[in-house]
Amino acid sequence: MAEIKAYHSKDPDLTLFIVAGSVSAEDLIAAMETHYGARPASIAVWDLWEADLSGLDMAALVKVSDVARGYARNRKDPRTLFAVKREQEKPLVRLYEKISELRGSPISYEMFPSRAAAYQHLGLNDPFATADRDRKRSA
């Protein structure tokens, strides 16, 4: 079971998901239901540096994509950025992006080697730098 922590920022309108551990479709869907339903930010950054996506098969990726597409209507100009470190995770993220595109998702997806690179691409400083430092101190 994965651990998924979410942080929200109003300016910029962004949600950061930090994912650790072995990830299932149900883990990702629960995070989306909780956060896209209550606080639908236009930008989502999924930090997958500590995530293990190897348990996700095609059916799981389709299921997650369909749920994300359903919540896209709650997000203004929906955009999702993935921070992926491990090479073995990148093909799964690319496959997810392609599945979402083929199934008509309005969400713009992009992949970056780190959260810092994703923020740089957005022209933002890390809005959660303080929360991240606190997380590292408590670990």
Q: Residue 39 burial by CB count (10 A; 0-12/13-18/19+): exposed, middle or buried?
A: middle
CA–CA distance from 56 to each of 51, 91, 132 (Å)? 11, 12, 27
Structure tokens that stand for 72 in this block = 């896209």
Q: Is the pLDDT of residue 138 over 50?
A: no
Spatial CA neighbour of 82 closest among 39, 49, 131? 49
pLDDT (average), residues 70-84: 93
C-beta atoms surrounding 38 within 10 Å: 10
pLDDT digits (tens, 9 = 90+) for 102-126: 999 999 999 999 999 999 999 999 9
80: confidence class by pLDDT, cuts 50, 70, 90? very high
Q: What is the overall mean pLDDT for the chain? A: 91
- The CATH code for residues 3-124 is 3.30.750.24
pLDDT of residue 114: 96
**Separation CA 49–CA 85 (nearest Å):** 5
